[in-house]
Amino acid sequence: MSDHRPILLANRAFYVAFGSADFAAMDALWAQRSPVSCVHPGWGALFGREQVMRSWKAILGNARPTDIVFSNPAVQRLEDIALVLCTERVFASELCATNTFVLEDGAWKMVHHHASPVTTSEPRHIVTMPVGLN
């Protein structure tokens, strides 16, 4: 768990930036050197820092800030890469997110975000891995 704490904090920072529409914070938490990509709910894939950050600028620039909370983060560690899967609740809709982070200069930086609506009652959130702070 303590091993995963910095990763979970990076994941939380993403949702804090998202929910508070803080573009500077959002920009800072994405990787600078590693390639990045993003799949917003219902969208196709965006590649590269320019396109990804342009999408965040548009989303965070909405007149109405996004009402978003996350829960049940689970860390999947792969060497110096970490996936955090978690549940998002956005304006009362439930989504499932995969957030991928890489270690850059000792800090966990986001390289990929993929969020999609949960529409079935199939088994979900069957978290068998260590979960951590929200």
Binding-site ranges for its own copies (CB under 8 A): 34-37, 39-48, 51, 55, 74, 76-81, 83, 85-87, 94, 96, 98, 100, 102, 111-112, 114-120, 122-129
Q: How far is the CB of 100 from its own copies (least distance, A)?
A: 7
Residue 20 CB, shortest distance to its own copies, in Å, is 23
CB of 17 to its own copies, least distance (A): 21
Q: Of the two residues 26 and 84, which places its CB atom closer to its own copies in the complex?
A: 84
Give the separation between CA 97 and CA 113, rounded to whole angstroms: 7
| Least spacing, CB of residue 122 vs its own copies, in Å | 5
CB nearer to its own copies: give 25 or 83. 83
CA distance 67 to 118: 17
- Among residues 12 and 40, whose Cβ is nearest to its own copies? 40
Judged by beta carbon, residue 25 or residue 81, the one nearer its own copies is: 81
Q: For every residue of 23-61, which 3-state class applies, written as one string?
A: HHHHHHHECCCCCCEEECCCCCCEEHHHHHHHHHHHHHC
Q: Please, are residues 96 and 72 in contact by the beta-carbon 8 Å criterion?
A: no
Smallest separation, CB 103 to its own copies (Å): 9
In three-state form (DSSP H/G/I as H, E/B as E, the rest C), the secondary structure along 60-119 is HCCCCCCCEEEEEEEEEEECCEEEEEEEEEECCEEEEEEEEEEEECCEEEEEEEEEEECC
**Nearer to its own copies by C-beta: 43 or 65?**
43
